[in-house]
Amino acid sequence: MSAGGVDDGAPVIAVHGLTKRFGGRTVVDAVDLSVGRGRICGFLGPNGSGKTTTLRMICGLLIPDGGEGRVLGFDMLRERAAIKARVGYMTQKFGLFADLTIAENLEFFARVHGLDRRRERVAEALERLGLATRGQQLAGSLSGGWKQRLALAACVLHEPEILLLDEPTAGVDPQARREFWDQIHALAAQGMTVLVSTHYMDEAERCHEIAYIAYGRMLARGTIDEVIAGSRLHALQGEGRLDDGRGADRLAAEIEGRPGVAMAAPFGTAIHVCGPDAADLRAAVAPWADRIDWREVQPSLEDVFIHLMRGAQDNSVVVSP
Amino acid sequence: MIAGSSWQATSQRILAMIFKEIRQMTRDRGTVGMMLAMPLIQLMIFGFAINNDPRALPMAVEVNDVSPFARSVVAALRNTSYFRVTRVIDAPGEGERLLARGEVQFVVTVPVDFGRDLVRGARPQLLVTADATDPAATGNALSSVEQAVAGALSHDLIGPLALRAQGASPVEVVVHRSYNPEGITSHNTVPGLLAVVLSMTMVMLTALSVTREVEQGTMENLLATPLRPFEVMVGKIVPYLFIGVVQMGVILLAAQFVFRVPFMGSIALTLFATLLFMVTSLALGFTLSTLARSQLQAMQMSFFYMLPSILLSGFAFPFRGMPLWAQWVAEVLPTTHFIRLVRGIMLKGWTLADAALELGVLAAMLLVLGTIAVRRYQDTVA
């Protein structure tokens, strides 16, 4: 399994200063990323933050304008063919052939990768998918959840060492999402390295580690605890009713403008407030301390991300150079 | 007021649709450009390029007689404005070669002792050989010959020779319609149809098939696999080649058994030329697909190519009837060269040596288009 001379323990994805510009816009700006073998790395960030572009550069679909890196020990600038052969990439949009059957789609990818025992592999994949009896159905007629499972099956058919998934669970129901993630963990347990982009916080929490990118810049990396601790945010949860009978949640707009408060968001009838300093935060909510019960809580990943995002500069609006 | 209850509401909604439609239309520059360019191009082609009464057709003259009558005859032909002397033949057999190669449309042969026989009242023959593959191109010119010759000689046959100018024409004009003696239009059209049908399917189908992958998002998946651009290209082209071969078979069989088109040349050479043309058209389709961003655009581009391919290539209208600029436009189209090839081989019995020039042009086009296609087709997205 040491293709390209990768030893276990060393990162299979190691990129530095990755940069990509489209027109005058820097979409990915000096991103560093390293993922170890068998790890599941969640790739998070707002829309248009450069997640897809980064994934495309890693799998050789885009050539970076700056930076360098190794994927499975191969130079990502010069050995893209070798990388493509060993990486499975699942696109954001369903990218299989809608007018071919499920089995025909799998056969195609088996052929393209030059796999032996094609029939058996396709049959096995269909079995695993639970589509053994529906192999002759057109791929385009599958529901969203099934399409996503089929797409995953197609991109792991050649047993890639790295799996790149671009928002694989967008628009998929909770049960299908759970099954999908169970499968990702099973694949990682076999040694597959997974880099998966997502918008869902619960999915981020299922990853071994996360990388947060916003407007092209890497803002946070590490395990969830590390990222939360690294943010130095403090959070308070407020519950109770005001004098006029309104719930604590109605205070959001009022509290957010106060000094020391980074953000305030309603959660049901409760309110969630966070800021960089615990004492300042307490002071900010003091006027409502009599009626509302304020309790110190751990900031959520979402708090951290929104905080990071607000601190980053939006580059999605084109500024003429 | 309840929406949808009155004609105002209806017109409001229709207006909403109209505004939306106009905005979308103006965003799609290709379609707007096409709408504006199409009438202009059609005006140019139908208004200026196409001419069903071609004049100044190239003619070779072989004069084997030194009398002033021979000169009068040639001058008279020139004066009809149908003929333009481009070659003077001094070696026997050269006229046939020039006709076969398509370098001239007519060869006029003034026989030995033409003047002497004329004076004697022996009604010498004047031989006019025409490349009649396209009857439309030669019809009017040929019908003008007899009168022009008689008219010219009536000026020369004066004084004691005036008697010769009376009664039957003093010269017997022998018209030889080569390659298509009966002037059957389908002999010319059916081989040309092979070119038109093939370029229509080959160019359009490939252009659409590649843009479809891009539009449906499957291209990204293809490119993420070890498939190389060259492999994708060949893989896409080969199935269409099969379709092209079937189309060729149908047309050639119909030419043979339904239209009874003479097949003078070798079948192998026809197949080779057709295959070369198919691959060139496929490469063109592929190049278009790398330029088009949507299937609609690919369709429009193919249409833009098809229009001159049908109208200017010599398929529908005589090539020599067109002004020079239109002929140059046509020279750039692979269809023009293939039409010459297939008519040459089928009707004139071209050999490999005769066909070499046109084959070379097609091969050069294939090289250029293939290079552009491979260059433009990247193994990366965006």
3-state SS, chain A, equals: CCHHHCCCCCEEEEEEEEEEEECCEEEEEEEEEEEECCCEEEEECCCCCCHHHHHHHHCCCCCCCEEEEEECCEECCCCHHHHHHHEEEECCCCCCCCCCEHHHHHHHHHHHCCCCCHHHHHHHHHHHHCCHHHCCCEHHHCCHHHHHHHHHHHHHCCCCCEEEEECCCCCCCHHHHHHHHHHHHHHHHCCCEEEEEECCHHHHCCCCEEEEEECCEEEEEECHHHHHHHHCCEEEEEEEECCCCCEHHHHHHHHHCCCCCCEEEEECCEEEEEECCHHHHHHHHHHHCCCEEEEEECCCHHHHHHHHHHHCCCCCCCCCC
pLDDT tier, A144 (very low <50, low <70, confident <90, very high otherwise): confident
Does B220 touch chain A if contact means CB atoms closer than 8 Å? yes
The chain-wide mean pLDDT, for chain B, equals 88
pLDDT at site B231: 87
Give percent of chain B above pLDDT 70.
95
pLDDT > 60? residue A319: no
pLDDT at site A320: 39
| A56/chain B closest Cα distance in angstroms | 8
pLDDT at site A167: 93
| A114/chain B closest Cα distance in angstroms | 9
* CATH architecture assignment, domain A3-227: 3-Layer(aba) Sandwich (3.40)
pLDDT tier, A9 (very low <50, low <70, confident <90, very high otherwise): low
**Of the ranges B204-208, B270-274, B368-372, the best mean pLDDT one:** B270-274
Which residues pair with residue B40 across a beta bridge? none
pLDDT single digits (tens) B153-166: 887 777 767 766 66
pLDDT at site A247: 83
CATH for the A234-298 domain, from 3.30.110, 1.10.3720, 1.10.287, 3.30.70? 3.30.70
Alpha-carbon distances of B180 from B95, B100, B183, B260, rounded to whole Å: 17, 12, 5, 12
Does A87 touch chain B if contact means CB atoms closer than 8 Å? yes
Q: What tokens does A244 get?
A: 């006029």
pLDDT at site B123: 87
**Overall average pLDDT of the A291-314 stretch:** 84
Helix (H) or strand (E) holding B128: strand B125-131
Of the listed ranges A193-202, B47-56, B155-164, B290-299, the one predicted with least confidence: B155-164
pLDDT tier, A5 (very low <50, low <70, confident <90, very high otherwise): very low
Pairing mode, strands A66-71 and A74-75 = antiparallel
pLDDT > 60? residue A176: yes
Give the nearest partner residue to A62 out of B217, B222, B382, using CB atoms: B382
Give percent of chain A above pLDDT 70.
94
The chain-wide mean pLDDT, for chain A, equals 88
pLDDT single digits (tens) A202-220: 899 999 999 999 888 998 9
pLDDT > 60? residue A317: no
Tell which wins on pLDDT, A107 or A46: A107
pTM (2 decimals)? 0.80
pLDDT at site A4: 39
Domain ranges of chain A: 3-227, 234-298
Asked if the Cβ–Cβ distance from A95 to B227 is below 8 Å, we say no
pLDDT at site B4: 54
In chain A, the residue whose alpha carbon lies closest to the alpha carbon of B378 is: A61
Does A113 touch chain B if contact means CB atoms closer than 8 Å? yes
Domains assigned to chain B: 57-178 (3.40.1710.10), 185-376 (no CATH)
pLDDT > 50? residue B196: yes
The one-letter code for the residue type at B165 is A
Question: A113 — phi, psi (to 5°)?
Answer: -85, 0
pLDDT single digits (tens) A235-265: 999 988 888 888 888 888 888 888 888 889 8
pLDDT > 50? residue A177: yes
pLDDT at site B343: 93
Alpha-carbon distances of B195 from A289, B216, B239, B318, B353, rounded to whole Å: 87, 31, 19, 16, 21
pLDDT tier, B28 (very low <50, low <70, confident <90, very high otherwise): confident
**Overall average pLDDT of the B348-363 stretch:** 94
pLDDT at site A64: 94
Give percent of chain A above pLDDT 90.
55
pLDDT at site A291: 84
In chain A, the residue whose alpha carbon lies closest to the alpha carbon of B227 is: A112
